[in-house]
């Protein structure tokens, strides 16, 4: 998939400077990058909140769609990795403080950090579409949270739950990956 030369130049400039220069009229300043991170953090928080309102039950405790991952995964394709990490961490901590508790923050951090690392590795390895990167992120997010539960609760038998979480992470990761591909196409960003 190829972009128009002007879009390619803006996307390259956006990756070099963070958000700055990616879209027409976006100033290439550190303040603009901070503002852009703030807006994307707020968007990810809104997605998390909306997801908590959707009465979708998969029959598996703790399984969610992962709508906030749309912001993280999309950001990995046009922002600096450190900016995406900042957005993800801010979203996890702020959402946890507003709608959760200390334990929920711990579980979300474990899943979010492992997912972020795995998605970066998949992108660096090449050969993965955003859907593939998202599926790997979904599975690793669930695995990180399960490992955290085993360590906190001192209950190794929870590992038996891993195959179910792998399936759920794959399915929700595929859905979020396909949505991300649509978002990137709309923004004119190739992968």
Distance (Å, rounded) from C-alpha 22 to C-alpha 125? Answer: 24
CATH of 5-187, one of 1.10.1760.20, 3.40.50.2300, 2.60.120.10, 1.20.1070.10: 1.10.1760.20
For the chain, 191 residues long, give each residue's pLDDT as a single digit of tens. 444 555 556 555 555 544 555 544 444 678 888 888 999 999 999 999 998 888 766 666 667 889 999 999 999 998 889 999 999 999 999 999 998 898 999 999 999 999 999 999 999 999 999 999 999 999 999 999 999 999 999 999 999 999 999 999 999 999 999 999 999 999 888 88
CA distances to 8, 75, 145 from 133, rounded to whole Å, are 22, 13, 18
Distance (Å, rounded) from C-alpha 182 to C-alpha 168? Answer: 22
pTM, two decimals, is 0.82
Using CB atoms within 10 Å of the CB of residue 69, give its burial: 0 to 12 exposed, 13 to 18 middle, 19+ buried: buried
Domain range annotation of the chain = 5-187
Taking alpha carbons only, the member of 156, 78, 76 closest to residue 119 is 76
């Amino acid at each position: 998939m190829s972009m128009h030369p002007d879009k390619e130049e803006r996307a390259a400039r956006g990756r070099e400077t963070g958000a700055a220069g990616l879209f027409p009229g976006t100033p290439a300043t550190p303040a603009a990058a901070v503002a852009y991170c703030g807006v994307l953090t707020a968007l990810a928080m809104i997605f998390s909140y909306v997801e908590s309102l959707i009465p979708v039950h998969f029959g598996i405790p703790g399984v969610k769609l992962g709508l906030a991952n749309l912001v993280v995964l999309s950001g990995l394709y046009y922002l600096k990795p450190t900016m995406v990490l900042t957005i993800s961490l801010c979203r996890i901590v702020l959402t946890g403080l507003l709608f959760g508790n200390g334990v929920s923050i711990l579980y979300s951090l474990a899943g979010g950090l492992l997912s972020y690392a795995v998605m970066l590795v998949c992108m660096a390895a090449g050969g993965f579409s955003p859907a593939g990167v998202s599926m790997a992120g979904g599975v690793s997010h669930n695995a990180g949270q399960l490992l955290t539960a085993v360590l906190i609760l001192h209950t190794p038998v929870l590992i038996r739950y891993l195959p179910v979480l792998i399936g759920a992470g794959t399915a929700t990761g595929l859905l979020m990956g396909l949505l991300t591909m649509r978002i990137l196409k709309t923004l004119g960003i190739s992968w």
